[in-house]
Structure 1
């Protein structure tokens, strides 16, 4: 088959999913046509304006309102507000002929087979042969939807199931129809991975496919267990959240957000269409769920579900919780378990599971029942819904936000222990698990030569998981390719002359050990390698400097030691900037404070699209002290052009720091100046980030990398800029927009970014600015209000305005 390119996509249906899918295609630079039905009657606003049903504004009202609502939602479905210009809207009567221009048509209309078939009949009249056409159905059999369509339509038709919200959830299920061509399936799976940044999973055409079949089972299992074990809503959410690598919203809060009606719809579909499921009875709604449905307590959309937000007489709000026995709302009850206390010192989630299932309290019993039921269920879904355990794990991680899939958790607690849990809940595993054990194979996964292998039940041996050539998994190479390690970092050989330095501290904070590790990594790379990547595959790149260490030094008034620590941070950043080898930073997730400063000093940044980046030091009462204030001054200077108002350019960089701006995506980070256009790059699929960063380091090294020369040509504006900033902070304080301490911090930053109180614009060196930055940082650490801010952040994780 010739190369297929996607330049224009038509999305049919502009509801929450349709608009979200349209936005994500716009995110990656594709032109999108978004269509929906024509309204059948005027609304009050249209009547008041004297419009008719023939006016374009009326005919496109539904699609335009849906898209506008999506773009206003939080979190945003779009990487950058300007990307919305890539979406054109229309309606299914006036504009359906425009689908002939599309390379891929995606149907996202209401989940009714009769309506979908009508839509496909209309689309086929205008679709050009060879155009991909897919449905985002979450459960209607693909085979039913393409009945009666032409051979070309059926060959290019399948299911492509995005999960909501499409920007953030990575699962992309590809479900073949009876006549779908193999090359079409391969193209869609590859496109999902490479361009959309998804985890593509090939599913079979079975009810609810993979993600929802297992995910809804897991939730329904909990619904039944909560009553059997006499547990509260809070207790279940405590046990099924971050402690086991699941989202903070855990179980019941997630159901509230998604909508109980949505969950019930899928559960009923599985119950009606899977009569042979060995746990068929579990998909019958428990009494309390049926009561909630009858009362329309559907969650956030109806104002109440398992939780309900109410306004108290004093005007404050309170979150109430549904008591599942009385079915009345009550005040929240804090949940706590001895078993969870035992896991507090275990940072790696995967290492907690043996402790959790061994618990002697109600939590331990809950985990044994939950995992026993889950382990049994997933074994019986092979080969019904998929042929491979890793596809189930991938679906749960990418679609439901689980850090580890069922088979990975089972490996963590051991095959025999998992079988014991299955037996304890009166279940039995599928026969292939017994055969696996008899063959002496005791884990579902294995690692060989840096590749992940997964047990193949049909072949009865391990098989390499396909598609790994495009990415590097640090967990797989850490043991065999470690070059250096300390308590803060591990340095690995990525091959081809490129090293990687990976933070291993809590939340990837940057303290003494991490700085020592960075210096050692540069030493090693300069001696025996060609380049260095600073990257990891944790949830976040780095939340910044170790403020606990700074707090202790400041409280003890060990100012000499604190000054040395600040200088060590600055010197390490400058060492990265002026090493003899290219240094590539690979930030993702939260990249705050010191993590952002590190990225500012790399030769190039290869950022994941989902990078939330900013200099947030104001929140703890200081200015960026690891070279960040210096670097923003330098970057402002580099933007000065002849006849520009240089003060305006400097002010933008000043405000980015003073307002502690954090980007909502890597693309937005370019607006704040923490990423640089023409130099730094963005990758949509985070799994490919380390491999991409390595490729850039290798290319720079092989292209003749030259060690940079320290800068002494940074233009600072002196008293002219300082005066402008001081007037500005006075006005902000007078208007009560900032506190007295905010003003003090801002004035310290102003002094640094103005280059001091020089009488006229001058050219200075980086060393000069770093000294100003260090003095300002240290002086702020002597302030009581700064210590209060740091202490509050350490205790609550939230900034204090004092």
Structure 2
């Protein structure tokens, strides 16, 4: 039987329920979102003379919840129009509509009695064979199954999303004791392929995998903090990006999630895992209990471990909590000699050996925290998972860790990790000792481009399942390398397709990257069929190397700068007019030059979470790598008979002039940065390179023909230029933009209008590129542009001067 999901019914419209509803809408599924009927009228409803029988009243709770979710930042939905896929209703009038659903999901409050009432209602109207799941994070399935029919139990499992559902990738699938294997397999597949998640099969144990280990890590850290006398700032410095964790690190993350949520989960583990050898670590420390009593829960109560306030001058100031006195004080900077030693180590995995070898307080902290974590995860097998890789997948996808516990242990060395544990009074598990005794020195290995993990029962390295749909660049980089320099690696990804992977800091685009793009095209045209430009770093590219531009401009090396900009433009034109199909695979930030690469590819295979924009205005210039030219071309190509052509051109002008950045790949279509009918979106970033390769191969085998240089671009000349100049002047007079903003905007206007031609004219692409380059160079000679570039280099933030 082939199961397809066309409609999902979600019961419970709270933060999680509405968020899950939005994510199903994101992927094109029809959603029915239900909640209870209000028991009494609101004051507004009373003033309007409404009654409890009015539909608008009966659906008030669900409608308010969904509206609040859609207004939240960051948005739970890829595009606001996708909200039209969600229909709301209540559990009395609309419960019968679940009969049409292919999947029914319960997302109500974490109380077994309430869940049982909901399941009773669902079973009256559910069509046999329909999937039924719960988003619970702690109630045992056997209790939820009580009183349910055989068909219900056969199709029942827990599908646990992490909040916010759109952004966090973990999707824990916990089959019920009588759940069929076909249902489990389907849910695992659907989470990966359709929802874009990392599907992790978990056992029905308290907190499952992600929260069991993640909350242990935090609770253990609380005890270490007290033991070592560390400050909030010191801990967040030690547990943030330096070890591949989010910038919010530990205490800021707790503030965002809510201290009460953490305490609830920790208590759940402590109360329900009596045989946990480290249950004492889940005991809530006194300082946390005091914070709970004071309702210092984090962002939701405006104060937690951090508190936003204003100083005497009215400026915002962030205060930190002193964990000893429980009083707020000014933030203190945190510095450690050990961290200084890692500054030149770009690969996070390579830092761990240095960190645990530290001779200062930082080194001691890492040895204590990693020893506790290693000791804990080794003993969770087979309790919460039979396979160690599922624990790593859960922590990486649910908590945003770059490396899971066993991967960190591997990076330090399994034997070395055991020694660290012993030094902290913790013994290795029997299977660890046996593994090392048998000559197995690593939890993971790579063979022929595939990842393998140590399988405890067989005592061998076993291939990690589900890799067939992925191309993992880390696994093939060395064996499939065709060419490399300091900025790129070119890999053979099979079937005649090359992949160009950026390797520069934050994937910025400088001369080495441009050289790599040209080399990749040379190689592909000679011996291959197509080229993918893609990587699997945090971001596709944050844009051009503005440090290089700044140095040339300060030294007034305008000939060299002119050459550098022309080299960028010429490289983009090579992508556009190569003899082989070029595919761009942007994800994360694709800004400035990173966006321009996609604008010039034959096709874009974008990850849904792509934040794309031409943001050069922020550093005082216009897009100089063909971006300004391309937006003028796209306006020209969209002109239809009867159109007000100026309005179309103006939209593209504002996309650049306002430095608009899409909040998803779908919004990039609205901005004209992606093209409907040509570019596509993939929800699971892990599948992106493989999908891009498939499209490159298809285009090549379908008879790809090298494009002909454009000579038919319609520019509007003085007609458009006049409109733009009047507009920028008005905006300056109204103080909406600065004088320098107006100067930049007028330069852009000159390019996109095609200069001051007396009438609409057909021009070549090179004509527009020359105008673009001239405008870019002239702006680089402006003092205020140099101030903007310098400010961006120093602070990472734009300057309005």
TM-score after normalising by structure 1: 1.00
Q: Output aligned runs, 1:211-290, within 5 Å.
A: 211-290=210-289
In the alignment, the residues of structure 2 paired with residue 342 and residue 757 of structure 1 have an alpha-carbon distance, to the nearest angstrom, of 56
2:676 paired with 1:677:
yes
Aligned to 2:359: 360
Post-superposition offset of 1:429 = 2.2
Deviation per residue, 1:630-653 (Å, 9 max, x gap): 000000000100011000000000
Listed as ranges, the gaps of 5+ residues in structure 2 are: none
2:15 paired with 1:13:
no
Post-superposition offset of 1:625 = 0.2
Aligned to 1:657: 656
In the alignment, the residues of structure 2 paired with residue 472 and residue 639 of structure 1 have an alpha-carbon distance, to the nearest angstrom, of 36
Post-superposition offset of 1:142 = 1.3
2:301 paired with 1:302:
yes
Aligned to 1:707: 706
In the alignment, the residues of structure 2 paired with residue 31 and residue 315 of structure 1 have an alpha-carbon distance, to the nearest angstrom, of 48
Post-superposition offset of 1:313 = 3.6
In the alignment, the residues of structure 2 paired with residue 360 and residue 768 of structure 1 have an alpha-carbon distance, to the nearest angstrom, of 61
Aligned to 1:477: 476
2:436 paired with 1:431:
no
Deviation per residue, 1:82-134 (Å, 9 max, x gap): 00000000011111111111000000000011111110011000000000000
In the alignment, the residues of structure 1 paired with residue 118 and residue 240 of structure 2 have an alpha-carbon distance, to the nearest angstrom, of 40
Q: Output aligned runs, 1:62-141, within 5 Å.
A: 62-141=61-140
Q: Output aligned runs, 1:526-541, within 5 Å.
A: 526-541=525-540
Post-superposition offset of 1:242 = 0.8
Aligned to 2:696: 697
In the alignment, the residues of structure 2 paired with residue 532 and residue 314 of structure 1 have an alpha-carbon distance, to the nearest angstrom, of 56
Q: Output aligned runs, 1:323-342, within 5 Å.
A: 323-342=322-341
SS in 2 for 1:290: helix
Deviation per residue, 1:733-758 (Å, 9 max, x gap): 00000000000000000000000000
Aligned to 2:153: 154
In the alignment, the residues of structure 2 paired with residue 445 and residue 566 of structure 1 have an alpha-carbon distance, to the nearest angstrom, of 44
In the alignment, the residues of structure 1 paired with residue 546 and residue 255 of structure 2 have an alpha-carbon distance, to the nearest angstrom, of 36
In the alignment, the residues of structure 1 paired with residue 142 and residue 780 of structure 2 have an alpha-carbon distance, to the nearest angstrom, of 67
Post-superposition offset of 1:430 = 1.7
Aligned to 1:735: 734
Deviation per residue, 1:767-787 (Å, 9 max, x gap): 000000000000000000000
Range that drifts further, 573-582 or 292-301: 292-301
Aligned to 2:614: 615
Post-superposition offset of 1:151 = 0.1
Post-superposition offset of 1:314 = 2.7
In the alignment, the residues of structure 2 paired with residue 597 and residue 419 of structure 1 have an alpha-carbon distance, to the nearest angstrom, of 49
In the alignment, the residues of structure 1 paired with residue 221 and residue 200 of structure 2 have an alpha-carbon distance, to the nearest angstrom, of 26
In the alignment, the residues of structure 2 paired with residue 136 and residue 431 of structure 1 have an alpha-carbon distance, to the nearest angstrom, of 35
Alignment: residue pair count = 801
In the alignment, the residues of structure 2 paired with residue 309 and residue 508 of structure 1 have an alpha-carbon distance, to the nearest angstrom, of 33
Aligned to 2:176: 177
SS in 1 for 2:33: strand
Aligned to 2:397: 398
Post-superposition offset of 1:312 = 2.9
Post-superposition offset of 1:315 = 2.2
SS in 2 for 1:305: coil
In the alignment, the residues of structure 1 paired with residue 32 and residue 648 of structure 2 have an alpha-carbon distance, to the nearest angstrom, of 37
Aligned to 1:744: 743
In the alignment, the residues of structure 1 paired with residue 521 and residue 493 of structure 2 have an alpha-carbon distance, to the nearest angstrom, of 15
Listed as ranges, the gaps of 5+ residues in structure 1 are: none
TM-score after normalising by structure 2: 1.00
In the alignment, the residues of structure 2 paired with residue 226 and residue 207 of structure 1 have an alpha-carbon distance, to the nearest angstrom, of 26
2:650 paired with 1:639:
no
Range that drifts further, 338-347 or 421-430: 421-430
SS in 1 for 2:125: coil
In the alignment, the residues of structure 2 paired with residue 639 and residue 77 of structure 1 have an alpha-carbon distance, to the nearest angstrom, of 31
In the alignment, the residues of structure 1 paired with residue 672 and residue 345 of structure 2 have an alpha-carbon distance, to the nearest angstrom, of 37
Post-superposition offset of 1:309 = 1.2
In the alignment, the residues of structure 1 paired with residue 438 and residue 501 of structure 2 have an alpha-carbon distance, to the nearest angstrom, of 37
In the alignment, the residues of structure 2 paired with residue 404 and residue 202 of structure 1 have an alpha-carbon distance, to the nearest angstrom, of 19
SS in 2 for 1:111: coil
In the alignment, the residues of structure 1 paired with residue 74 and residue 62 of structure 2 have an alpha-carbon distance, to the nearest angstrom, of 20
In the alignment, the residues of structure 2 paired with residue 429 and residue 642 of structure 1 have an alpha-carbon distance, to the nearest angstrom, of 75
Q: Output aligned runs, 1:445-484, within 5 Å.
A: 445-484=444-483
